[in-house]
Amino acid sequence: MQASFNPLPRPLVLASTSPYRRELLARLRLPFETVAPQVDETPHAGEAPAALARRLAAAKADAVARQRPQAIVVGSDQVADLDGVALGKPGHHARAVAQLRAMSGRTVRFHTALAVRCLDSGYAADDVAVVQVQFRALDDATIERYLLAERPYDCAGSAKSEGLGIALLDAIVSDDPTALVGLPLIRTARLLRGAGVVLP
């Protein structure tokens, strides 16, 4: 009797409770579970946006890998960068208005960092995708209409490019199309293959 093919040498765990990252990882058609990483996401004093994204992605993957040493763990974090200043998740309407006003007519860089860990095998790999987003000039009425329609208060940069937020933009430049949504799948697939996962 022929053994069934298993593309996963170990359990796969997403170190995140983000519905956006969960939906993206599901596109790879691999079974996985999610575990909340319980990581303090407070920036360090003077920490650059890119460094913050990398540190938090690694911290999330490491925290869950310690709980599940036999698993392949994927951690990710995204930080919006406006002239070297990190823009986090707005959390509420007033802060989202302030973020969109600040980004109006400007280019914002989104750093989406990725870390894959497996303690039992010793595998550890990191990468980051940088997405340049050009916002069009936004007046207050446009900002208000958008925020009331989509309420993107849990998104870095206060806009969902996969939804109505695309209408706020003039251009997106990236070599990993899903990075702006929250998980760079080209890089994720590459690092998972490095961990021994079989993908198409």
What DSSP element (H or E) covers 170?
strand 169-173
Identify the active-site residue in 77, 81, 127, 176: 77
Which amino acid is residue 194, in one-letter code?
A: G
User: Distance between CA atoms of 195 and 197, rounded to whole angstroms?
Assistant: 6
Number of neighbours of residue 176 by Cβ within 10 angstroms: 20
User: Is residue 25 within 8 Å of 188, Cβ to Cβ?
Assistant: yes
120 is catalytic: no
User: Distance between CA atoms of 69 and 117, rounded to whole angstroms?
Assistant: 9
Compute and round to an integer the Cα radius of gyration of the chain: 18
Catalytic residue positions?
77
